[in-house]
Chains A and B, each alone.
Chain A
């Protein structure tokens, strides 16, 4: 079946512009996560959605970052007034449930969006 998809695969933007990154999770997965992966760094947690619950935004690095998930499916990560330090690969993942990974194969990651801020 289809995995997690993300678009665009690459995005080059100028400093100060806003960008929107999209994630289509696996159908039926109630949990959705956004991570950021910078060169030589581990995956940095950004935000977590679980069903209709309020999202956990504790990983968002600044108020320039926001995310929404419409209808419990597609999610959009928005970065306003981009800065050069925002350049990274933004990864989206989904899972059947947020808490229990046993037997669910863990998080299923998309291929990521490579963001370059000039």
Chain B
């Protein structure tokens, strides 16, 4: 079993739709849960992170962590064409430096 599973997509939605991106993981020691956004030909940039469990909201973006199910989600409300990118989930232990990344989901938001 892979340590992190993420559907590569692509996921295509119309502008204004609610987008749901998900990852599952197997390592119960993960405490930092992150989402990175990567535009084409660019490096990933940290979008949101959550420590331990719960929800976090930042503008149109909401990150959710369900540690009991080892499942994390990123929701994008009122999606825009500028949200078109690859979204990578990422995980880390407390006190560690190694970040484990998902393969990324390619998202296309059509105008």
Contacting A at CB under 8 A, from B69-111, are: 88, 92, 95-104
What is the total number of residues of chain A having a CB less than 8 Å from a CB of chain B? 25
* Cα separation A45 to B98 with both chains bound (whole Å): 8
Name the residue of chain B whose CB is nearest to the CB of A91. B43
What is the total number of residues of chain B having a CB less than 8 Å from a CB of chain A? 26
Measured CB to CB, the closest approach of chain A to B71, in angstroms, equals 17
Tell me which residues across on chain A come within 8 A of B34, comparing CB atoms: 106
* Cα separation A109 to B47 with both chains bound (whole Å): 12
Measured CB to CB, the closest approach of chain B to A26, in angstroms, equals 12
Are A102 and B43 within 8 A (Cβ)?
no
A48 at the interface (CB under 8 A from B): yes
If A40-B8, A106-B49 touch, whether A99 touches B103 (CB-CB below 8 Å) is no
* Cα separation A107 to B10 with both chains bound (whole Å): 25
* Cα separation A109 to B38 with both chains bound (whole Å): 10
B45 at the interface (CB under 8 A from A): yes
Name the residue of chain A whose CB is nearest to the CB of B42. A111
Contact of A48 among B6, B49, B97 (CB under 8 A): B97
* Cα separation A42 to B91 with both chains bound (whole Å): 12
Are A42 and B92 within 8 A (Cβ)?
no
Main SS of chain A's interface residues? Answer: loop
Tell me which residues across on chain A come within 8 A of B36, comparing CB atoms: 106
Contact of A98 among B41, B97, B101 (CB under 8 A): B97
Are A107 and B46 within 8 A (Cβ)?
yes
* Cα separation A41 to B82 with both chains bound (whole Å): 23
Tell me which residues across on chain A come within 8 A of B96, comparing CB atoms: 99
Tell me which residues across on chain A come within 8 A of B49, comparing CB atoms: 101, 106
Measured CB to CB, the closest approach of chain B to A98, in angstroms, equals 4
Q: Chain B interface (Cβ within 8 Å of chain A)?
A: 4, 6, 8, 32, 34, 36, 41-46, 49, 51, 88, 92, 95-104
Given contacts A40-B8, A40-B103, A99-B97, 4 further A-B contacts (CB under 8 A): A105-B46, A106-B36, A107-B99, A111-B42
Query: What are 9 A-B contacts with C-beta separation under 8 Å?
Result: A42-B102, A43-B44, A43-B88, A43-B99, A93-B43, A99-B95, A101-B92, A107-B46, A111-B43
